[in-house]
Amino acid sequence: MAIIRPGREEDLPHIYAIINESARAYRGVIPDDRWHEPYMPEEELRQEIAHGVYFWIAEESGTPVAVMGMQDKRDVLLVRHAYVAPGAQRTGVGTKLLRHVRDLSSKPVLIGTWADATWAIDFYRRNGFTLLPTLEKDALLRKYWSVPERQMDTSVVLADERWIKSRQP
């Protein structure tokens, strides 16, 4: 049974390892010009934290097996850097972690991911998120994220039911 807890400074090596180990699935899937090794250098991870990304950890028997970063951005909560260690994938721990962080706030939740990461998109859709149209995706990426134009071109945004309901007339 996974235990969900806030990340701490001493978790940084685990967060780094889980992100980079899990992100290997992107190699050969996302555009070559967006892939690098390591996928997220430690300095970039530290910068993300300095810019307000805070992590939640799922652990099994005291060992971190999944991480999910959250970032409060004005009127929404962004899911950032959500990864499950390869050995723990398809065990339900990612779903448990996503539900936990989604329930922490009453704000709408938005998630950005790679357009070609179909497994990630499918995961979020199974968990109640809706894939947004390109024009809305582009506007949201510009408003809430700081990503290069090339990444915008190769990304998607998914929204929870709160976002969808807030946009209905």
Tens of pLDDT, residue by residue over 133-159, are 999 999 999 999 988 888 889 999 999
pLDDT, tens only, 21-55:
999 999 999 989 889 999 999 999 999 999 999 99
SS3 105: coil
Query: Does position 169 have pLDDT exceeding 80, yes or no?
Result: no
State the CATH number of the domain containing residue 81: 3.40.630.30
The whole-number pLDDT of residue 146 equals: 87
Q: Say whether pLDDT at 71 is over 90.
A: yes
Query: In the chain, how many domains are there?
Result: 1
Q: What is the pLDDT of residues 90-134, one digit of tens each?
A: 999 999 999 999 999 999 999 999 999 999 999 999 999 999 999
Q: What is the pLDDT of residue 167?
A: 85
Residues 6+ apart with CB under 8 A from 88: 58, 60, 65, 66
- The average confidence (pLDDT) of the chain is 95
Name the residue range of residue 138's domain: 3-166
Average pLDDT over residues 3-10: 97
**Is the Cα dihedral 163, 157, 105, 103 positive or negative?**
positive
Distance CA 141, CA 27 (A): 23
